[in-house]
Amino acid sequence: MPRFHNVDGVRIQFTPADEAQRDAEEAAWARAPTPGERAARATAAADVDMGTPLMRALADTLLSDPAVAVSFRTALEARHDERVVAATPR
């Protein structure tokens, strides 16, 4: 099924080059990770000892999706707290 541009109310059919470009854009979107997948990766990355204020600030800066940044930061804080408790002499 052909696709069309709408230019000033006039429908203009895509050229083969337009079709190829749009197909590439749609394929890139299809391969992009979902917010849930990004959050899962961010949480898994928190297994590294990164519970310092600097690393939490970097996580907020580097992760552009606010929901992913919050998930990552929460995971960092939890991992850091677990390590502090484990390292505390009893």
Find the helix or strand (DSSP H, E) in which 15 lies: none
Q: Is the pLDDT of residue 64 over 60?
A: yes
Find the helix or strand (DSSP H, E) in which 50 lies: none
- 19 & 51 share domain: no
- 80 & 43 share domain: yes
Model pLDDT, residue 13 = 93
Q: What is the pLDDT of residues 1-36, one digit of tens each?
A: 789 989 899 999 999 999 999 998 888 877 777 777
For residue 77, give Cα distances in angstroms to 2, 9, 29, 34, 81: 51, 54, 32, 23, 6
Average of pLDDT values for 45-61? 61
- 61 & 71 share domain: yes
Question: Which backbone phi and psi does 20 adopt, to 5 degrees?
Answer: -65, -40
Model pLDDT, residue 15 = 93
pTM beyond 0.75, yes or no: no
Q: Do residues 28 and 41 touch, judged by C-beta distance below 8 A?
A: no
- 17 & 58 share domain: no
The count of domains in the chain is: 2
Q: Do residues 72 and 50 touch, judged by C-beta distance below 8 A?
A: no
Model pLDDT, residue 79 = 75
Q: Do residues 6 and 18 touch, judged by C-beta distance below 8 A?
A: no
DSSP 14: P
pLDDT higher at 4 or 49: 4
Q: Is the pLDDT of residue 90 over 70?
A: no
- 26 & 52 share domain: no
Structural domain containing residue 56: 34-90
Q: What percent of the chain has pLDDT over 90?
A: 16
